[in-house]
Structure 1
């Protein structure tokens, strides 16, 4: 495995760990080709959709940069794919620069990971033998998960919440590193 492939895998893993996903139909952007860095094809995300008349779109979105619009994080990149009609016949192809909103998916956080080795207790003639115990408690953040949301908030209390601009800068730095390999 080359260093470019390893770094690409690290970036994809980081994006997955952050729980980032692209949502919405996106808006067309008219960025100059020289201003936007080349998309990193290792980060191509499959995009599919269907129309009310039975037509379909299948393609990929490859991010080239991340920006903010107010407090919203946007991924700008190239959308490529094919459009087909209700019978499945190809109607045309699309290659277009678009900006898509990025959302952070429901996250989990590990609250406790406790491993106890084998235990032997002799309490005045009462003998207790316990084999290895592995206790894992995970909180899930989502709408309606009051305890999960609270425990994740407490777990990450001192981490600091990154702003959309800070997250965009971090993601752009990762894309730049991948583009230099």
Structure 2
């Protein structure tokens, strides 16, 4: 449960176009952490279905992009629902960071008392919080998050892969 919570907190999601796009891994991957298994489903051109899980074992950088290498297991069924076969194979899949939020403004104004030539204005405490949500189609949220993190050091895919591999190693020891 801790591993699932950690992955949810990191906001990681695995993307791909289906079983046909999964490339076999070049080298043997370390043992996967089974608590991190991600459900994978898809359909075939003739109406069949695939249902299984992808369990990451290692993260790496390929051409500047973050990828996860792990074990894909599942069952392929035809259009009538009859099982055609099962799969257990090492694959490499691209990794994207899911929607994230960033704090744009957190303004707290204390109580205010104004007396302007007989016009009295009393204002209680005001707490204004503005957050931007990064996701596909959220143009303003993406722009504001990019601006707020303009001077931050952006981790490279290789640096992020090293961090994720360290987390996987720690989870494998549980």
TM value normalised by structure 1: 0.80
Measured after TM superposition, the shift of residue 90 of structure 1 is 1.9
Contact 1:11 1:174 in 2 (8 A): no
Summarize the alignment of residues 96-135 of structure 1 with structure 2, pairs less than 5 Å apart: 96-135=89-128
Aligned mates of 1:143, 1:40 — CA distance in 2: 29
Does structure 2 conserve the Cα–Cα contact (< 8 Å) formed by 1:45 and 1:62?
yes
Partner of 1:13: 8
Structure 1: give runs of 5+ residues left out of the alignment: none
Q: 1:91 to 1:117 in 2, by over 3 A?
A: farther
SS of match in other structure, 2:151: coil
Between 74-83 and 155-164, report the one with greater CA deviation.
155-164
User: How big is each residue's C-alpha offset from its partner over 1:41-94, in whole Å with a ceiling of 9 and x where there is no partner?
Assistant: 121111110112110111111100001112121100011111111122222211
Would the aligned equivalents of 1:26 and 1:101 in 2 still touch at CA under 8 Å? no
Distance 2:4 2:37 in 1: 12
Matches of 1:151 and 1:177, distance apart in 2:
34
What corresponds to 1:73 in structure 2?
A: 66
Q: 1:120 to 1:157 in 2, by over 3 A?
A: same
RMSD: 2.3
Runs of 4+ aligned residues of structure 1 deviating over 6 Å after TM superposition are none
* Equivalent residue number for residue 22 of structure 1: 14
> What is the deviation of 1:98?
0.3
107-116 or 123-132, which deviates more: 123-132
Aligned match of 1:64: 57
Query: What is the TM-score normalised by the length of structure 2?
Result: 0.83
Q: Structure 2: any 5+ residue segments left out of the alignment?
A: none
Matched length: 170
